[in-house]
Structure 1
Amino acid sequence: MSSWDTPASKLGLVVAGIPLDVYSCANATKPETLVAVMFLLHGRMGSARKMEDYVHGIFKEVQERRRALPQGAREAQDLYIVTFDHRNHGKRMENKKANMGWFDDPEKNNERHAIDMYAIQTGTAQDVSYLIDFLPSYMFPNGERHISQWICAGKSLGGHSTWIVLRNDPRVKLGIPIIGCPDYLTLISKRAKAHKLPAGPPYIPDSLLALIKRTDPAASPYTVLDDSNPFLGKKILVLAGKDDKTVPWSAGKTFVETLNVGQRGVKEVIIEEGVGHEFSEAMVKEVAHFVWQHALLQ
């Protein structure tokens, strides 16, 4: 995507060995204004640094809406965006090949692709929950601001992690999976079939299969209307490219269409025509609009 203007300032933090970039509006409002914090998760082979253009794009859109508020209107909450390198990415890289997929080229081929990818996306989701525990103390040690809500959005692998966060962390009420998939078994089975590999051991070990069937978003009671449904009452924007071959919409379509967020929840789905596996500029605008409408104006 093209570079955007730079309407946000950046602060570097290290939380127990995890380096973070924390972005906030360069012209922040009054200290008593409530704060919404959004994690913006990168994709496989990506990094926190590679998300910076998207961060500024979101802030640009949000600031335009803030300036357009009529005089006397209720003040919108401030937005902070947090990015960090996922496990085995960026500054946390230990084994580059573990981020690779299945290839005919033995130099690139990662036989443990199914294992590594699930480990990284679930680990990233755990990191988000861990950071929610500690960020208020690191960001506002004197209680300077009050964090009213937590948001998670993510691209590709980060989109997979966003679905897991939405399932597992009740503190995250709003999520935006971007070109991600909530049904790992369907996604990885399609990928194995395309590479003429069995959807079983050693590529998908029985122990991994048991873990997926126990912990994946698609393994939850996501269609029911009682408290066992972890998505009930949550506000979710699903963004996908119609021509995506890497994470095809068909892999998560059934889940998304039957997902029940209840009367108090919000579910919006936008499948962008002519777009493949990318976080398009139109998607950036949709992220900003959804966050503005369903978080910052609350």
Structure 2
Amino acid sequence: MFKLGHSKHAAPESHGKNLKPHKETVVVAGLPVNVFSDRGATKPETPVAVMFLLHGRTGSAKRMETYVNDVFEEIRARRSAHKGAQDLIIVTIDQRNHGARMVDERANMGWFPEPEKNNERHAIDMYAIQTGTAQDVSFLIDFLPSYLFPNGERTISQWLCAGKSLGGHSTWIVLKNDPRVKIGIPIIGCPDYLTLISKRAKAHKLPVGPPYLPDSLIELIRRADPAAAPYTATDESNPFLGKKILVLSGQDDKIAPFSSSKEVVEKLNVGKHGLKEVIVEPGVGHDLSPAMLKEAARFIWEQALVA
């Protein structure tokens, strides 16, 4: 049983700066799920917001722990002045074919001139991984409440998803596909995979077609990608209506340039009950900068924990 919440034995300094959150690993149908919380932050009756934080290509859940710690530190600083805030759990997993789930290292590589590094199936592999990760998130939303609180000890009030790079792409797919995720923070990610990967193929002087982008893959992207959704619509056909989205990008990003996302992001309609914030940070490339992390923590605080 996952233990979260107020403890009469919590040390007074548990809310100080630079302290790591409590970590517990829960195995859900064979998938190790890392669950982070700030024990003693709230009373047991306080609702809990759960956020998935997804790593980038060639990364791992382990490598996201520094960001997890930094988010909790930012939230902790705000919580001291606001006693009515909701609790926060951050969840990390290894994306498919990453970390402890690694099967084929080459499948995580891109297009390279060196034969020993080159992955001809880069476009296929990357889309399969991010789509599979989005499915993992929805699967865990189904089952985590039972694993974490089998006796109904706490109420999960809302689900959030944030991700870096490949995890940012996955976050866009989660926002499109899962109506339970109302808040998303795609960081150096892209909602328009066909535009992104087409530009990348052209930069490598590869055809935007078979065998690098098979017709079947292009058909799937055009049917299932966030950019394929009616994201400008004002009715319920638009899966983004009512959602709160913070888009974080680097102005100098050459790997997932904001230009690949710009049309979708600018035209994206979240409706009167939604919120869209876009920050393109000058002087930053394909990286989750300290300023981006602070903005992400601020958005989590304002839109989930005290909203």
Q: Could you say which TM-score interval applies, normalised by the shorter chain?
A: over 0.9
Partner of 2:103: 94
What 5-or-longer segments of structure 2 have no aligned partner?
A: 1-16
State how many pairs are aligned: 291
- CA–CA distance in 2 between the matches of 1:127 and 1:7? 26
Partner of 1:171: 180
SS state of the match for residue 13, structure 1? Answer: strand
Shift of 1:27: 2.7
Q: Which of 29, 53, 56 is the equivalent residue of 1:16? A: 29
**Cα deviation code 1:219-266 (max 9, x no counterpart):** 000011000000000000000000001100100011000000011000
Q: How does 1:93-242 map to 2 (within 5 A)?
A: 93-242=102-251
- CA–CA distance in 1 between the matches of 2:33 and 2:300? 21
- Give the counterpart letter for 1:191 in structure 2: R
**Cα deviation code 1:135-156 (max 9, x no counterpart):** 0001111111000000000000
- CA–CA distance in 2 between the matches of 1:115 and 1:180? 17
- Give the counterpart letter for 1:261 in structure 2: V
Partner of 1:286: 295
1:34 touches 1:78 (CA, 8 Å); kept in 2?
yes
Partner of 2:304: 295
SS state of the match for residue 131, structure 1? Answer: helix
Q: Which of 52, 62, 68 is the equivalent residue of 1:39? A: 52
Q: Which of 259, 267, 272 is the equivalent residue of 1:250? A: 259
- Give the counterpart letter for 2:222 in structure 1: K
**Cα deviation code 1:32-87 (max 9, x no counterpart):** 00000000000000000000000010000001001022xxx6x1100000000000
- CA–CA distance in 2 between the matches of 1:6 and 1:93? 31
Is 2:95 the partner of 1:82?
Answer: no
What 5-or-longer segments of structure 1 have no aligned partner?
A: none
Computed over aligned residues only, the root mean square deviation of the Cα atoms, in angstroms, reads 0.9
Partner of 2:39: 26
- Give the counterpart letter for 2:50 in structure 1: V
SS state of the match for residue 116, structure 1? Answer: helix
Shift of 1:26: 3.2
Shift of 1:110: 0.1
- CA–CA distance in 2 between the matches of 1:6 and 1:215? 41
- CA–CA distance in 1 between the matches of 2:33 and 2:293? 21
- CA–CA distance in 2 between the matches of 1:295 and 1:174? 8
Q: Which of 54, 74, 77 is the equivalent residue of 1:61? A: 74
- Give the counterpart letter for 1:215 in structure 2: A
- CA–CA distance in 1 between the matches of 2:19 and 2:175? 29
- CA–CA distance in 1 between the matches of 2:22 and 2:77? 16
**Structure-1-length-normalised TM-score:** 0.96
- CA–CA distance in 1 between the matches of 2:257 and 2:195? 10
SS state of the match for residue 245, structure 1? Answer: coil
Shift of 1:5: 2.0
Is 2:278 the partner of 1:265?
Answer: no
- Give the counterpart letter for 2:229 in structure 1: S
1:7 touches 1:26 (CA, 8 Å); kept in 2?
no
Shift of 1:6: 2.8
